[in-house]
């Protein structure tokens, strides 16, 4: 808290509300348990507590402001942002929390444009209607549940972030599925807060990426600045990479120039084709991670490793992992290990499988998994290339029932929340499609060109190009909408996107 602030009644009321917040009390009560667990030291604990207190204070400042107005809409939020010198996107994040905590009733007023198989329905934002819930605040203050509720409803994406930040280390993700040690859990709710499958303000994620000060609608592949088709010029990488080797080349450059100390990625475990998270320490380690793996890998789970503290990290991961990291940045709760993530390198992801499902696919293709050299999804088919140079494939339609259930509700193909997104769809074989999303991503990509590490062409110069990527991304969004709606009809819990 800033002691210079004016101690008005208004201010003190916000502080009192914040101190009464369940999450703050849970953290204070469990201080000794947290320090004993050894994930965070006392100074890190203090950072988490004070940042969270500041966030709660700002949230209640917005709540009390809304309460004092007779009519609340977008104009009110813009005024609040200006008065507090914060971005509109920050105010919208707080608004989302108030909605989740049922302190307000929030309605988005939109115009709807119908969708089809390849184009999801469009909702053109017009304004907000915000009403205060008049029940006494003490009855409304929620208890943030541990993410067990997400595991139990089978909507966990297996990103691993909850386990990576849990202050008492009582969560574990394996093979895409989560477990909790309920005896150890202190019910601080931090995991609920960072999880991309509890609530995820998609529009605000894109606004943050764009640094936009206006609310608008983002389509199919999210906000991006530039799009290219590219491939590596580094021989060691080109010899082992799946497509154009651009994600490995980014890491190569970042290690080479000491821009990062470590990177998180996925390597093959002792069980072939069952990946496991790995901390890459140098350029040579990059070769461990080459090739696409279709079994879920909870990279973010290892964010709690002591050697990562106060180090500069790049994370290479799938869209749900990029969403989890960006969401945590938005809510600025000061989790020390997250503060060190310097680069988010996102890869395209259509769906992932459990290891057991991958064995099923191999069985259908009549191949021993130990004989598989490379796997790929392309042109609507799942391919396995064997060590005896056979090419086997099966239409995705025939194996889509084997994909992880949570992937059905995933709306993001292209890692919309990354600094730079990389995949194969849209580019010729042996090349990557690269979407530059942030200034940081742009600077990194330009350095790869300046240092003669890659060949790069504007995506408009290659076939099939961006239109195919947009079509497939649009169809993933449509399918995700359908699944979410049908789950809602069955009253099954779905993420609040
Ligand atoms: S499981 Fe979640 S609620 Fe429980 S201690 Fe860990 S972060 Fe907190
Ligand atoms: S989606 Fe990620 S953060 Fe949420 S419960 Fe699953 S592993 Fe944890
Ligand atoms: S489809 Fe979505 S939820 Fe599934 S692994 Fe990929 S990014 Fe994560």
Q: What is the residue with the minimal CA distance to atom 4 of ligand 1?
A: 185
Strands (E) in 79-121, as ranges, are 104-113
**Which residue from 253, 285, 257 is spatially nearest to 454, judged by alpha carbons?**
253
- Rounded to whole angstroms, the Cα distance separating 100 from 152 reads 19
For Cα atoms 198, 203, 207, give the angle at the middle one, nearest 5 degrees. Answer: 125
Which atom of ligand 2 is found nearest the CA of 301?
A: 7
Q: What is the residue with the minimal CA distance to atom 5 of ligand 1?
A: 185
Q: Which one of 200, 316, 349 would you pick to mutate in the ligand 3 pocket, going by the greatest count of ligand atoms within 8 A of its CB?
A: 349
* Residue keyed to tokens 């651009």: 246
- Rounded to whole angstroms, the Cα distance separating 314 from 250 reads 10
Find the 429 Cα to ligand 2 centroid distance in Å. 33
Which atom of ligand 3 is found nearest the CA of 407?
A: 4
**Which residue from 253, 258, 299, 256 is spatially nearest to 279, judged by alpha carbons?**
299
**Cis peptide, bond prior to residue 464, ω within 30 of zero:** yes
Find the 185 Cα to ligand 1 centroid distance in Å. 5
**Which residue from 496, 474, 489 is spatially nearest to 117, judged by alpha carbons?**
474
Which atom of ligand 1 is found nearest the CA of 187?
A: 3
| Tens-place pLDDT, residues 281-325 | 999 999 888 778 889 899 999 999 989 988 999 999 999 999 999
Kindly indicate the confidence band of residue 164, based on its pLDDT and cuts at 50, 70 and 90: very high
Q: Which one of 412, 422, 475 would you pick to mutate in the ligand 3 pocket, going by the greatest count of ligand atoms within 8 A of its CB?
A: 412
pTM across the whole model: 0.93
Which atom of ligand 1 is found nearest the CA of 148?
A: 1
Kindly indicate the confidence band of residue 140, based on its pLDDT and cuts at 50, 70 and 90: low
The pLDDT of 329-335, averaged and rounded, is 81
Residues 6+ apart with CB under 8 A from 334: 47, 48, 50, 51, 52
Q: Determine what percent of the chain is predicted with pLDDT higher than 90.
A: 65
Instruction: State which H helix or E strand residue 241 sits in.
Output: none
Q: Which of 203-217, 260-274, 393-407, 449-463 has the largest mean confidence? A: 449-463
Find the 459 Cα to ligand 2 centroid distance in Å. 34
Find the 379 Cα to ligand 3 centroid distance in Å. 19
| Tens-place pLDDT, residues 58-94 | 999 999 999 999 899 999 999 999 999 999 999 999 9
Q: What is the mean pLDDT of the chain?
A: 90
Q: What is the residue with the minimal CA distance to atom 8 of ligand 1?
A: 188
Find the 147 Cα to ligand 1 centroid distance in Å. 8
Kindly indicate the confidence band of residue 141, based on its pLDDT and cuts at 50, 70 and 90: low
Name every protein residue with a CB atom under 6 angstroms from any ligand 2 atom. Answer: 147, 150, 156-162, 173, 178, 195-197, 324
Q: What is the residue with the minimal CA distance to atom 8 of ligand 2?
A: 162
Which sequence spans correspond to the domains of the chain?
A: 9-143, 226-352+403-489
Res 129: pLDDT: 93
Kindly indicate the confidence band of residue 17, based on its pLDDT and cuts at 50, 70 and 90: confident
Name every protein residue with a CB atom under 6 angstroms from any ligand 3 atom. Answer: 157, 296, 318-320, 349, 351-352, 406-407, 410
From the CA of 171, which ligand is nearest? 1
Find the 350 Cα to ligand 3 centroid distance in Å. 7
Which atom of ligand 2 is found nearest the CA of 157?
A: 1
């Amino acid at each position: 808290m800033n002691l210079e602030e004016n101690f008005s009644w208004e201010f003190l009321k916000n502080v009192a509300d914040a101190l009464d917040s369940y999450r703050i009390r849970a953290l204070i009560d469990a201080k000794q348990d947290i320090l004993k667990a050894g994930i965070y030291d006392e100074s890190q604990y203090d950072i988490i507590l004070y940042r969270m207190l500041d966030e709660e204070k700002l949230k209640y400042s917005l709540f009390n402001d809304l309460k004092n107005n007779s009519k609340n809409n977008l104009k009110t939020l813009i005024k609040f942002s200006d008065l507090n010198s914060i971005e509109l996107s920050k105010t919208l994040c707080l608004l989302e929390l108030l909605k989740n905590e049922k302190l307000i009733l929030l309605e988005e007023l939109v115009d709807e444009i119908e969708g089809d198989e390849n184009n999801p329905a469009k909702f053109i934002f017009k304004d907000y209607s915000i009403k205060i819930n008049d029940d006494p605040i003490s009855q409304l203050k929620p208890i943030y549940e541990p993410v067990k509720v997400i595991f139990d409803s089978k909507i966990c994406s297996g990103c691993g972030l909850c386990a990576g930040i849990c202050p008492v280390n009582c969560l574990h993700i394996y093979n895409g599925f989560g477990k909790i040690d309920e005896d150890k859990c202190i019910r601080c709710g931090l995991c609920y807060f960072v999880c991309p499958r509890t609530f995820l303000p998609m529009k605000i994620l894109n606004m943050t990426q764009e640094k936009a000060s206006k609310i608008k609608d983002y389509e199919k592949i999210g906000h991006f600045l530039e799009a290219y088709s590219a491939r590596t010029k580094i021989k060691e990488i080109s010899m082992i990479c799946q497509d154009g080797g651009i994600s490995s080349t980014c890491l190569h450059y970042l290690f080479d120039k000491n821009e990062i100390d470590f990177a998180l990625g996925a390597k093959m475990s002792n069980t072939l084709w069952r990946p496991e998270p790995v901390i890459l320490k140098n350029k040579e380690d990059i070769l461990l991670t080459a090739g696409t793996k279709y079994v879920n890998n909870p990279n973010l789970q290892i964010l709690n490793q002591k050697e990562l503290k106060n180090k500069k990290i790049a994370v290479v991961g799938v869209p749900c992992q990029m969403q989890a990291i960006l969401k945590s940045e938005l809510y600025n709760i000061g989790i020390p290990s997250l503060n060190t993530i310097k680069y988010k390198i996102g890869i395209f992801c259509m769906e992932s499988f459990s290891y057991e499902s991958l064995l099923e696919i191999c069985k259908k293709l009549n191949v021993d998994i130990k004989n598989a050299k490379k796997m790929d999804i392309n042109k609507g088919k799942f391919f396995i290339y064997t060590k005896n140079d056979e090419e086997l494939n099966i239409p995705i339609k025939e194996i889509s029932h084997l994909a992880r259930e949570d992937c059905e509700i995933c709306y993001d193909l292209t890692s919309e929340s990354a600094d730079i997104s990389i995949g194969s769809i849209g580019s010729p074989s042996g090349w990557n499609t690269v979407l530059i999303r942030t200034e940081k991503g742009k600077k990194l990509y330009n350095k790869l060109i300046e240092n003669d590490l890659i060949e790069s062409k504007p995506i408009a110069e290659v076939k099939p190009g961006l239109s195919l990527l947009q079509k497939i991304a649009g169809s993933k969004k449509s399918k995700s909408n359908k699944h979410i709606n049908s789950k809602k009809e069955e009253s099954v819990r779905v993420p609040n996107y």
